[in-house]
Every structure is written in C-alpha cells, then in structure tokens.
Amino acid sequence: MPVKPSDAEEEYFVRQEAAKLRKQNADRQANLEQEDRERERKLHHMKCPKCGMQLEEIAFGGIHIDKCFNCEGLWLDSGELERLQKKDSGFLGKLLGTCRP
C-alpha cells in the first residue's frame, strides 16, 4: 500500500517547484531584456539622434568623432570632448566650464 506524503513533505515539494518556476521565469525575463537591448542597439547604432540617418566616423584633431552628413550634426562619444579640450582649451574650455555643475 502506498504511503501518503505528510503535509510538510507536500509543502516542501510545492515550495521547491515554485522556486524552480520563479528561477525559470527570471532567466527567461533576463534573456528577453538582453535580446531587447541588443535589438535596440542594432537599430540605433551609428544613427543620428537628430534625423536618424547614418553617422560616419571622421578624424578631427586626432580624435574620431561621428558626423551626420544629412543634418551636419557632430556627435561625441564619452571622453572625446575632454580630449579635444586638452588640445584646444579656448572655446572648448569655456564650453565645458559652463556645462559642469
């Protein structure tokens, strides 16, 4: 004759199953978020934030900056403005001085 599990045993297995399902759901959510970030990056990478056209990398003062030849916008990556300032502290120094909190 089969032995019926106690209430404590049943509760333990229900908790184990719920924890397993929560972990699977969290993993699935993390994968979806990673896929969304990758899709967004591919959609927007090297696209002009102003007009949406393709950006081209050009050399300016030894630094590669992104230029939109459609709207003529210039876009700098992190740290590029500071490197330009080191080369010419006149206008850029004043610009950076007004931008800092």
Residue 7 pLDDT: 80
Say whether both 84 and 61 belong to one domain.
yes
What is the domain count for the chain? 2
Which residues are bridge partners to 54 per DSSP?
A: 47
In a domain, 1, yes or no: yes
The predicted-structure confidence for 67-91, as pLDDT tens digits, reads as follows 999 999 988 888 888 888 777 666 6
Say whether both 89 and 59 belong to one domain.
yes
Half-sphere CA count of 30, side-chain side, radius 13 A: 6
How many CB atoms are closer than 10 A to CB 66?
Answer: 19
Phi, psi (5° rounding) for residue 47?
-110, 140
Residue 85 pLDDT: 77
Residue 5: pLDDT band (50, 70, 90) is low
